[in-house]
Amino acid sequence: MLSKNIEHALNNQIQIEAESSQTYLSMASWAETHGLEGISKFMYAQSEEERVHMLKLVRYVNERGGHAKVSELKAPKISYGTFKEMFEELYKHEIFVSDSINKLVDVSFTEKDYATHNFLQWYVAEQIEEEAQAKLILDKINLIGDDKGGLYLFDRDMQQLTLNSTPK
């Protein structure tokens, strides 16, 4: 059985994961309207992955005797000056999500809810991957600079990254 404090914290994370999905969806739409097919496919896939993360939390809360709440979401940003700016925001967002997961893990440990603590370890590992991937993408973007040919190749590489990644 979940404590009310843990249930509240998990519901907060559910909202964060839902907003993450919306953020990636908005980024996908922006990229698609700017001719960045590979980036848009990557972002659509990321949006779906974040939704899966949210659903995993919803099911966990309900299975542990709590009540997962579907709450109102903040509207994501819908426009970006450049694709680089978009990926910089993505990286900052992943750091925010990691911090949120870490706080949740701390609450579960403090309350000695070891089942929740164990459950959250998957999210901890997932966020390490998400941050590393976002940082790697930003590093590549910085290598490209203003080279349009580089942007074309980068967009194509993002499409390959989407095709080669396995759903989680």
The average confidence (pLDDT) of the chain is: 94
CATH code at position 98: 1.20.1260.10
pLDDT digits (tens, 9 = 90+) for 128-155: 999 999 999 999 999 998 888 888 889 8
Residues annotated in the binding site, as ranges? Answer: 17, 50, 53, 94, 127
**Residue tagged 């450049």 (tokens):** 82
Which residues, 6+ apart, have CB-to-CB distance to 104 below 8 Å? 9, 10, 12, 13, 120, 123
Structure tokens at 51: 């939704």
Domain with 147, as residue range(s), is: 4-164
- Using pLDDT thresholds of 50, 70 and 90, give the confidence band for residue 165: low
3-state SS assignment for residue 30: helix
∠ CA 94-99-105, rounded to 5°? 125
Please state the domain count of the chain: 1
CA distance 50 to 53: 5
Contact predicate 120/2, CB 8 Å: no
CA 130/CA 50 separation, integer angstroms: 11
CA distance 133 to 164: 14
Q: For 2-6, 73-77, 163-167, which range has the lowest pLDDT when averaged over its residues?
A: 163-167
Mean pLDDT, to the nearest integer, of 5-20?
98
Q: Encode pLDDT of 55-92 as tens digits.
A: 999 999 999 999 999 999 999 999 999 999 999 999 99
Supply the pTM of this predicted model: 0.92
**pLDDT over 50 (residue 168):** no
**Over residues 89-110, mean pLDDT:** 97
Give the residue ranges of the annotated binding site for Fe cation.
Answer: 17, 50, 53, 94, 127
